[in-house]
Structure 1
Amino acid sequence: MTTRRGRRPAGSGVPLTFEVIAESLRERIRSGGLKPGDALPTQAALMREFGASSLTVQRAMVLLKQEGWAVSRPGKGAFVAHHDHAAADADDLDGSEATTPVGGTTARVEAMERALADAAQQIADLRGRVEALESGGGEPGH
Protein backbone atom coordinates (compact mmCIF):
# COMPACT_ATOMS: atom_id res chain seq x y z
CA MET A 1 0.00 0.00 0.00
CA THR A 2 1.35 3.44 -0.87
CA THR A 3 0.79 6.59 1.14
CA ARG A 4 -0.26 9.85 -0.42
CA ARG A 5 2.31 12.61 -0.61
CA GLY A 6 2.04 14.99 2.30
CA ARG A 7 0.66 12.32 4.61
CA ARG A 8 2.50 10.78 7.50
CA PRO A 9 1.69 7.89 9.78
CA ALA A 10 -0.03 8.94 12.98
CA GLY A 11 2.47 9.67 15.71
CA SER A 12 5.49 9.50 13.39
CA GLY A 13 6.80 12.85 14.65
CA VAL A 14 8.29 13.62 11.21
CA PRO A 15 7.30 17.15 10.19
CA LEU A 16 5.74 17.71 6.79
CA THR A 17 7.45 20.08 4.37
CA PHE A 18 5.01 22.93 5.04
CA GLU A 19 5.74 22.59 8.77
CA VAL A 20 9.49 22.70 8.08
CA ILE A 21 9.06 25.86 6.00
CA ALA A 22 6.90 27.51 8.68
CA GLU A 23 9.38 26.62 11.44
CA SER A 24 12.29 27.94 9.38
CA LEU A 25 10.51 31.29 8.97
CA ARG A 26 9.55 31.36 12.68
CA GLU A 27 13.22 30.84 13.56
CA ARG A 28 14.27 33.67 11.24
CA ILE A 29 11.78 35.92 13.02
CA ARG A 30 12.82 34.80 16.52
CA SER A 31 16.51 35.31 15.69
CA GLY A 32 15.90 38.81 14.34
CA GLY A 33 16.81 37.90 10.77
CA LEU A 34 13.28 38.98 9.89
CA LYS A 35 11.80 41.86 11.89
CA PRO A 36 8.20 43.06 12.26
CA GLY A 37 7.15 44.74 9.03
CA ASP A 38 9.80 42.96 6.92
CA ALA A 39 8.59 41.22 3.77
CA LEU A 40 8.67 37.44 3.99
CA PRO A 41 10.38 35.60 1.14
CA THR A 42 8.20 35.23 -1.94
CA GLN A 43 6.40 32.02 -2.74
CA ALA A 44 8.80 31.44 -5.65
CA ALA A 45 11.84 31.96 -3.42
CA LEU A 46 10.52 29.52 -0.81
CA MET A 47 9.67 26.96 -3.50
CA ARG A 48 13.27 27.12 -4.73
CA GLU A 49 14.81 27.10 -1.24
CA PHE A 50 12.86 24.09 0.00
CA GLY A 51 12.20 22.29 -3.30
CA ALA A 52 8.51 22.52 -2.47
CA SER A 53 5.33 22.94 -4.50
CA SER A 54 3.33 26.16 -4.50
CA LEU A 55 0.58 24.46 -2.47
CA THR A 56 3.09 23.39 0.19
CA VAL A 57 4.43 26.96 0.50
CA GLN A 58 0.88 28.32 0.65
CA ARG A 59 0.05 25.91 3.50
CA ALA A 60 3.11 27.14 5.41
CA MET A 61 2.04 30.76 4.93
CA VAL A 62 -1.53 30.02 6.04
CA LEU A 63 -0.14 28.38 9.18
CA LEU A 64 2.08 31.39 9.96
CA LYS A 65 -0.86 33.77 9.46
CA GLN A 66 -3.15 31.66 11.65
CA GLU A 67 -0.53 31.65 14.40
CA GLY A 68 -0.08 35.42 14.20
CA TRP A 69 3.50 35.37 12.83
CA ALA A 70 2.61 36.90 9.45
CA VAL A 71 0.07 39.17 7.81
CA SER A 72 -0.89 39.61 4.16
CA ARG A 73 -1.12 42.91 2.38
CA PRO A 74 -3.18 42.42 -0.78
CA GLY A 75 -1.11 43.10 -3.86
CA LYS A 76 2.08 43.48 -1.80
CA GLY A 77 2.77 40.07 -0.24
CA ALA A 78 3.24 38.63 3.23
CA PHE A 79 5.02 40.44 6.04
CA VAL A 80 6.22 39.69 9.56
CA ALA A 81 3.42 40.66 11.96
CA HIS A 82 3.85 43.55 14.37
CA HIS A 83 3.40 42.73 18.03
CA ASP A 84 2.28 44.95 20.89
CA HIS A 85 4.86 43.69 23.39
CA ALA A 86 8.63 43.97 23.35
CA ALA A 87 10.26 41.05 21.51
CA ALA A 88 12.70 40.81 24.41
CA ASP A 89 9.92 39.28 26.52
CA ALA A 90 10.23 36.09 24.44
CA ASP A 91 13.93 35.80 25.31
CA ASP A 92 13.04 34.87 28.89
CA LEU A 93 10.91 31.90 27.88
CA ASP A 94 11.86 28.27 27.47
CA GLY A 95 10.50 25.45 25.32
CA SER A 96 7.16 25.77 23.58
CA GLU A 97 6.45 29.14 25.19
CA ALA A 98 9.36 30.61 23.24
CA THR A 99 7.76 29.55 19.95
CA THR A 100 4.51 31.39 20.64
CA PRO A 101 4.47 34.80 19.00
CA VAL A 102 4.27 37.79 21.30
CA GLY A 103 0.64 38.84 21.43
CA GLY A 104 -0.34 35.15 21.56
CA THR A 105 -4.00 34.27 21.50
CA THR A 106 -5.35 37.62 20.34
CA ALA A 107 -3.03 37.70 17.32
CA ARG A 108 -3.93 34.11 16.43
CA VAL A 109 -7.67 34.78 16.71
CA GLU A 110 -7.36 37.90 14.55
CA ALA A 111 -5.30 35.99 11.97
CA MET A 112 -7.88 33.20 11.92
CA GLU A 113 -10.70 35.71 11.49
CA ARG A 114 -8.86 37.29 8.54
CA ALA A 115 -8.22 33.85 7.01
CA LEU A 116 -11.91 32.96 7.43
CA ALA A 117 -12.98 36.24 5.82
CA ASP A 118 -10.58 35.60 2.91
CA ALA A 119 -11.94 32.08 2.48
CA ALA A 120 -15.53 33.35 2.53
CA GLN A 121 -14.66 35.92 -0.15
CA GLN A 122 -13.02 33.24 -2.30
CA ILE A 123 -16.13 31.07 -1.97
CA ALA A 124 -18.37 33.99 -2.96
CA ASP A 125 -16.14 34.73 -5.97
CA LEU A 126 -16.21 31.09 -7.06
CA ARG A 127 -19.97 30.90 -6.59
CA GLY A 128 -20.36 33.94 -8.85
CA ARG A 129 -18.14 32.38 -11.51
CA VAL A 130 -20.09 29.12 -11.39
CA GLU A 131 -23.41 30.96 -11.67
CA ALA A 132 -22.08 32.94 -14.66
CA LEU A 133 -20.93 29.74 -16.37
CA GLU A 134 -24.20 27.94 -15.67
CA SER A 135 -26.25 30.83 -17.05
CA GLY A 136 -24.25 30.60 -20.28
CA GLY A 137 -22.63 33.96 -19.80
CA GLY A 138 -19.14 32.50 -19.45
CA GLU A 139 -16.25 34.57 -18.23
CA PRO A 140 -14.79 37.58 -20.00
CA GLY A 141 -11.76 36.64 -22.02
CA HIS A 142 -12.47 32.89 -22.00
Structure 2
Amino acid sequence: MPLTFEVIAETLRDQIRCGGFKPGEALPAQAVQMREFAASSLTVQKAMALLKQEGWAVSRPGKGVFVTHHDAAADGEAPGSPDGESTPVGATAARVEALERALADAIEQLADLRARVAALESGGDKQSR
Protein backbone atom coordinates (compact mmCIF):
# COMPACT_ATOMS: atom_id res chain seq x y z
CA MET A 1 0.00 0.00 0.00
CA PRO A 2 1.55 3.34 -1.06
CA LEU A 3 2.16 6.09 1.47
CA THR A 4 0.09 9.28 1.27
CA PHE A 5 2.94 11.35 -0.17
CA GLU A 6 3.39 8.74 -2.91
CA VAL A 7 -0.34 8.87 -3.70
CA ILE A 8 -0.18 12.68 -3.95
CA ALA A 9 2.88 12.54 -6.21
CA GLU A 10 1.31 9.88 -8.46
CA THR A 11 -1.95 11.83 -8.72
CA LEU A 12 -0.07 14.94 -9.80
CA ARG A 13 2.09 12.92 -12.23
CA ASP A 14 -1.09 11.53 -13.80
CA GLN A 15 -2.55 15.02 -14.10
CA ILE A 16 0.65 16.25 -15.78
CA ARG A 17 0.70 13.25 -18.16
CA CYS A 18 -2.94 13.88 -19.14
CA GLY A 19 -2.33 17.58 -19.74
CA GLY A 20 -4.16 18.78 -16.64
CA PHE A 21 -1.01 20.71 -15.78
CA LYS A 22 1.18 21.97 -18.59
CA PRO A 23 4.91 22.80 -18.51
CA GLY A 24 5.46 26.13 -16.77
CA GLU A 25 2.09 25.98 -15.00
CA ALA A 26 1.95 26.23 -11.21
CA LEU A 27 0.94 23.17 -9.23
CA PRO A 28 -1.72 23.73 -6.56
CA ALA A 29 -0.52 25.52 -3.44
CA GLN A 30 0.43 23.46 -0.41
CA ALA A 31 -2.72 24.50 1.49
CA VAL A 32 -4.93 23.39 -1.40
CA GLN A 33 -3.21 20.02 -1.58
CA MET A 34 -3.45 19.59 2.20
CA ARG A 35 -7.23 20.04 1.96
CA GLU A 36 -7.66 17.96 -1.20
CA PHE A 37 -5.69 14.97 0.12
CA ALA A 38 -6.46 15.44 3.84
CA ALA A 39 -2.71 15.46 4.39
CA SER A 40 -0.25 17.30 6.62
CA SER A 41 2.08 19.97 5.31
CA LEU A 42 5.04 17.61 5.73
CA THR A 43 3.31 14.95 3.62
CA VAL A 44 2.62 17.45 0.82
CA GLN A 45 6.21 18.71 1.04
CA LYS A 46 7.50 15.14 0.67
CA ALA A 47 5.32 14.66 -2.42
CA MET A 48 6.65 17.88 -3.93
CA ALA A 49 10.24 16.88 -3.12
CA LEU A 50 9.66 13.57 -4.90
CA LEU A 51 8.27 15.29 -8.00
CA LYS A 52 11.21 17.70 -8.05
CA GLN A 53 13.71 14.89 -7.60
CA GLU A 54 12.16 13.01 -10.52
CA GLY A 55 12.23 16.09 -12.76
CA TRP A 56 8.47 16.66 -12.90
CA ALA A 57 8.51 19.98 -11.04
CA VAL A 58 10.75 22.82 -9.91
CA SER A 59 10.45 25.37 -7.08
CA ARG A 60 10.58 29.07 -7.65
CA PRO A 61 11.09 30.72 -4.26
CA GLY A 62 8.23 32.99 -3.32
CA LYS A 63 6.20 31.87 -6.34
CA GLY A 64 5.46 28.17 -5.88
CA VAL A 65 6.13 24.83 -7.55
CA PHE A 66 5.89 24.63 -11.33
CA VAL A 67 5.68 21.83 -13.85
CA THR A 68 8.89 21.38 -15.79
CA HIS A 69 8.97 20.39 -19.41
CA HIS A 70 8.73 16.76 -18.49
CA ASP A 71 9.75 14.22 -21.08
CA ALA A 72 7.76 11.06 -20.43
CA ALA A 73 10.75 9.00 -21.57
CA ALA A 74 11.58 8.62 -17.91
CA ASP A 75 8.43 6.51 -17.72
CA GLY A 76 9.38 4.51 -20.79
CA GLU A 77 7.25 6.44 -23.25
CA ALA A 78 8.14 9.31 -25.51
CA PRO A 79 5.58 12.10 -25.80
CA GLY A 80 4.05 12.15 -29.23
CA SER A 81 5.63 8.82 -30.12
CA PRO A 82 2.95 6.24 -30.88
CA ASP A 83 5.30 3.29 -30.74
CA GLY A 84 6.58 4.27 -27.28
CA GLU A 85 10.21 4.73 -28.33
CA SER A 86 12.13 6.12 -25.42
CA THR A 87 14.28 9.21 -25.70
CA PRO A 88 16.49 9.10 -22.63
CA VAL A 89 18.38 12.21 -23.73
CA GLY A 90 15.22 14.29 -23.32
CA ALA A 91 14.51 12.84 -19.91
CA THR A 92 18.07 13.49 -18.87
CA ALA A 93 17.89 17.05 -20.18
CA ALA A 94 14.72 17.68 -18.15
CA ARG A 95 16.37 16.34 -15.02
CA VAL A 96 19.52 18.39 -15.60
CA GLU A 97 17.37 21.51 -16.06
CA ALA A 98 15.48 20.78 -12.84
CA LEU A 99 18.75 20.20 -10.96
CA GLU A 100 20.25 23.41 -12.34
CA ARG A 101 17.21 25.38 -11.15
CA ALA A 102 17.38 23.72 -7.74
CA LEU A 103 21.08 24.54 -7.52
CA ALA A 104 20.44 28.17 -8.49
CA ASP A 105 17.75 28.37 -5.81
CA ALA A 106 20.14 26.89 -3.22
CA ILE A 107 22.88 29.35 -4.18
CA GLU A 108 20.43 32.23 -3.84
CA GLN A 109 19.37 31.00 -0.40
CA LEU A 110 23.01 30.68 0.68
CA ALA A 111 23.72 34.24 -0.46
CA ASP A 112 20.72 35.47 1.56
CA LEU A 113 21.91 33.58 4.64
CA ARG A 114 25.43 34.96 4.28
CA ALA A 115 24.04 38.48 4.05
CA ARG A 116 21.97 37.91 7.20
CA VAL A 117 24.97 36.54 9.09
CA ALA A 118 27.09 39.49 7.97
CA ALA A 119 24.37 41.91 9.08
CA LEU A 120 24.09 40.21 12.45
CA GLU A 121 27.85 40.19 12.93
CA SER A 122 28.21 43.87 12.01
CA GLY A 123 25.30 44.74 14.28
CA GLY A 124 26.88 42.76 17.12
CA ASP A 125 30.17 44.63 16.71
CA LYS A 126 28.38 47.98 17.05
CA GLN A 127 26.64 46.92 20.26
CA SER A 128 29.84 45.76 21.93
CA ARG A 129 31.59 49.06 21.27
What 5-or-longer segments of structure 2 have no aligned partner? 73-77, 125-129
Q: Which residue type is aligned with residue 79 of structure 2? A: A
Q: TM-score normalized by structure 1? A: 0.62
- Which residue number corresponds to residue 100 of structure 2? 113
Moved more, 53-62 or 104-113: 53-62
Counterpart pick for 1:64 among 37, 47, 51: 51
RMSD value, Cα: 3.4
The equivalent residue for 1:87 is 79
Structure with the higher helix share, 1 or 2: 2
Q: Percent identity?
A: 75
| In 2, Cα distance between equivalents of 1:92 and 1:71 | 29
Distance (Å, rounded) in 2 between the aligned partners of 1:104 and 1:31: 18
Cα distance in 2 between the residues matched to 1:78 and 1:29? 13
- 1:54 aligns with 41
Cα 1:76–1:120 change in 2 (3 A) is closer
Judge conservation of contact 2:5–2:46 (CA < 8 Å) in 1.
yes
Paired residues for 1:20-39 under 5 Å: 20-39=7-26
Separation in structure 2 between the aligned mates of residue 102 and residue 45 of structure 1, nearest angstrom? 34
* Map of 1:135 onto structure 2: 122
For 2:110 and 2:102, how far apart are their aligned partners in 1? 12
Secondary structure (helix, strand or coil) at the match of 1:87 reads coil
TM-score w.r.t. the length of structure 2 is: 0.66
- What stretches of structure 1 of length at least 5 have no aligned partner? 1-13, 138-142
1:21 partner amino acid: I
AA aligned opposite 1:87: P
Determine the structure 2 residue equivalent to 1:77: 64
Equivalent pair of 1:84/1:102 in contact (CA under 8 Å): no
1:42·1:77 contact (CA, 8 Å) conserved in 2? yes
Aligned-partner Cα distance in 2 for 1:124–1:109 = 22
Q: d(CA) in 2 for partners of 1:54 and 1:101?
A: 33
CA deviation string 1:45-80 (max 9, x = no partner): 111122333333233223323322224455543332
Cα 1:54/1:60, change in 2 over 3 Å? same
